[in-house]
Structure 1
């Protein structure tokens, strides 16, 4: 009796990309950052086909120019990124929308389907100056959730993009408690989550558990790892996020946490199309550092089946 032939595994529905962040880019213009042309050349050379826009103004903001520059390198855009402070209430809506609209318009024009929304920092990410209380009041939570829902609906209606909210170190949405509270209080039809594995681990969260618990809310992934030894020192000293990155708190996979293989397996088990964008925070870094890391990281992710 012959044994049935093993069935081939279905192709992965996870689309891998990278971002300017993995090249040390945090600002539209900074002499310590690589020129945008070099970023595009190297991200393509490392084997990626998807990118994010990064800070608005780093890549060309003329859609025709950007489409030409990405297409000739075999690249496509998955998302734009915005920072918001919607917990401050309706008074900040008009200013927020102006910022969101220019980013969303560019993302739409170059074929992206998502807009990554990052809450504003409660302390300055360079100096550590405390800008506001690290814990929101009940009223601020209500403003945050209601206005984020409004943002999600208006971005979808006007630009056809899905917003994905990104928990981030030194913001009011970071670890398990605040992420669960945010998801439980928002409409799944309006708001999805961008799970950044590094930032979630930075705040003590378990990415696999989050995917298994809130799988239907996961709309996007950022792949990142934390060096646990550096993180322990950062936490003990109360170091803000920017200086923590300069210390190397975000590290090259697979040397940190969380392990990405089980995260990718849990995400694949959802059975949906997902972008998984590599983001290794490295600002500032020497210009020759990112490309070899990008090559190794892409090779590692292929070994994970994506």
Structure 2
């Protein structure tokens, strides 16, 4: 596919608000998640070639790697496939269960190292770290207690700091921890507890606006309170009506996504314009990666949504 022409950055729709600093330090991208990709290999997911073709055609220049093994893991091939489509990689993604303590470190590091090495080899600077789920995102099976003990909190924070140090020293990447529904780092209380207990030089936050809203958090307030810890953004919205239903019923995250709890901007919450304005006031370089959880979804559904979302974000000035 060929990419459609893009409006110049100075177009009226992209003009910042009077008296506001420019949004040029926010770099917008998308991810396999917005194409319904949750696993390295799944018959219900689009082939990786189609994802790359369509994300470029929709007007994005940055992508995340998604689940390790979905995109080619040979760095030369991945660089060639992304480069010829005009795409660059912002980050890799890993899942961790560091609250289980030192006994899981070696197993965790083995998969982190593979992801970090590939991300670094193709020019990324970040590694998105997602905590382990306390219930299975496919089946809803409860895997462990929803609340961590004080000892588990200590293991989580100390080992996350170690992860940040090792990833920085060995691969030159910055870890950004992603609060996520159905994990132990989710809403306002647990996110604040986690940030207050970790070293800002080693651990930054990937603020996912959809997940934070799903768990009752206010993204603008978080940016204003912990601005120095915000190292990365995922732009996402929830459908308030569906969210109320899944919260009332205790629906696990996977089935909630299948019911459409994550929706196309700008129809959901939180409003992204104030989030971007708050991020702009930080006056730092940030990636803002669009993610609309849609697993599973028809293969022809993601691309039109991606195009519309990119147009909407341009109207917000990014």
Q: TM-score, normalised by structure 1?
A: 0.97
Relative to structure 1, the CA distance from residue 251 to residue 11 in structure 2 (aligned partners, 3 Å threshold; closer, same or farther) is closer
SS in 1 for 2:68: coil
Match of residue 42 from structure 1: 54
Is residue 123 of structure 2 the alignment partner of residue 111 of structure 1? yes
Moved more, 11-20 or 56-65: 11-20
Deviation at 1:62, TM superposition (A): 0.3
Relative to structure 1, the CA distance from residue 8 to residue 134 in structure 2 (aligned partners, 3 Å threshold; closer, same or farther) is closer
Is residue 227 of structure 2 the alignment partner of residue 215 of structure 1? yes
Please list, as runs of the form range in 1=range in 2, the aligned pairs for 1:118-129 lying within 5 A after superposition.
Answer: 118-129=130-141
Relative to structure 1, the CA distance from residue 10 to residue 190 in structure 2 (aligned partners, 3 Å threshold; closer, same or farther) is same
Unaligned runs of 5+ in 1: 1-5
Distance 2:192 2:41 in 1: 35
1:116-175 alpha-carbon deviations (Å, 9 max, x no partner): 000000001111111000000000000000000000000000000000000000000000
Match of residue 3 from structure 1: none
SS in 2 for 1:77: strand
Distance 1:299 1:102 in 2: 35
Contact 2:132 2:183 in 1 (8 A): yes
- Over 4 Å off, 4+ runs: 6-9
Distance 1:131 1:293 in 2: 34
Distance 1:8 1:121 in 2: 39
Contact 2:21 2:281 in 1 (8 A): no
Is residue 152 of structure 2 the alignment partner of residue 140 of structure 1? yes
244, 261, 264: which one pairs with 1:249? 261
Q: In the comparison of the two structures, how many residue pairs are matched? A: 301
173, 180, 192: which one pairs with 2:185? 173
Distance 1:46 1:11 in 2: 20
Match of residue 290 from structure 2: 278
Contact 2:23 2:317 in 1 (8 A): no
Match of residue 291 from structure 1: 303
1:179-236 alpha-carbon deviations (Å, 9 max, x no partner): 0000000000000000000000000000000000000000000000000000011001
SS in 1 for 2:90: strand
Distance 2:22 2:183 in 1: 38
Distance 1:192 1:69 in 2: 30
Deviation at 1:12, TM superposition (A): 2.0
Q: TM-score, normalised by structure 2?
A: 0.94
Unaligned runs of 5+ in 2: 1-17
Is residue 281 of structure 2 the alignment partner of residue 269 of structure 1? yes
